[in-house]
Amino acid sequence: MNQLTKLSLSAVFLSASALAQQPTLNVYTYSSFASEYGPAKQLEANFEKTCQCDLRFLPFDDGITMFNRVRLEGKKTKADVVLGIDSFLKDEAEKAGLFTAHELSLDSIAIPTNNWKSEVFYPFDYGEYAFIYNKDKLKNPPTSMKALIERNDLRVIYQDPRTSTVGRGLLMWVNALYGEQGEQAVAERWAALSKHTVTVGKGWSETYGAYLKGEADLALSYTTSPLYHQWYENDDKNVAAIFDEGHLVQVEYGAIMQSSKQKALAQKFLQFLTTPESQKIIAKANIMHPVIAEEVDPLLSAQPKTKTLTNFAMPSSEQVRQWLNIWQKAITQ
């Protein structure tokens, strides 16, 4: 064996040894975040340049599916971090006792709603729920939740609140608007909507995809969703229906597992998500608002202003279960 070959083999062994010594950070998240077009790939490449680690994203259908998995796995979970616990899953997730305090400053975070701060859950983006429609096809869109519910000429698609954080958002939105009128009033709204609901899908990807195929007039998503079509398809036909009653804000969070052996690295990763560069990547690929005040894209900053339901009191996990029961009974009658 010549000297050059020995040197080459030594370099290979040293490289393999260095990789073996690098810590691994496992991040559970939802499928669209880790998809080919989601932000995970770019974030992974950028973070690995500085962390001397192997960052791995492990996707699940939705944030609720992901949370149910870590709850089932408990202390045996492979996850160090979860991304995708949202505002309306936060209470239930905290009570599960699986997560540890992030111990990070929230001074740079700017979110236009109340009750988003948490010692355990660290925000990385936010959005306002909205129903999306094609303005070339639907000339008379609903301008209120009341109209959406009552107009039987509208074909509607939304996500199952038992499996989808977006669907859970509609559950909260309806109760935020009608909950004070009592359970019967809420049940009547769900029953009325069910008369012209095409389907209640498992997750966002399949329901929004069905809408784009023309299977519905409106699909539950976010006010920012039309930006995807503008940024990547140069298409402005899909727009958000703006409702007079106001829209509900969803904040998405990351959290560190108590069982993680990489807590310092996990903290570094969560903080990395709120750097200006990372926020731009998340906003452009996840099609959501950044949680920092800095502008990441002119089109995002120019989004139409909506009335925000800022004073919605976050329900307990027991209340959510009750709302789910009311919804399920109403749509199956």
What is the DSSP pairing of strand 122-134 with strand 249-257?
antiparallel
pLDDT of residue 157: 98
| Nearest one of 108, 77, 82 to 93, comparing CA atoms | 82
pLDDT of residue 299: 82
CA angle 78, 277, 131 (to 5 degrees): 80
- Cα separation, 195 vs 153, in Å, equals 10
Contact call for residues 75 and 175 (beta carbons, < 8 A) = no
pLDDT of residue 311: 74
Question: Model pTM greater than 0.85?
Answer: yes
pLDDT of residue 236: 93
pLDDT of residue 3: 54
Contact call for residues 221 and 130 (beta carbons, < 8 A) = yes
What residues in the chain have per-residue pLDDT under 50?
4, 9, 12-19
Q: Which helix (H) or strand (E) holds 99?
A: strand 99-100
pLDDT of residue 113: 83
Find the helix packing angle between 183-194 and 317-332, rounded to 10°. 50
pLDDT of residue 240: 96
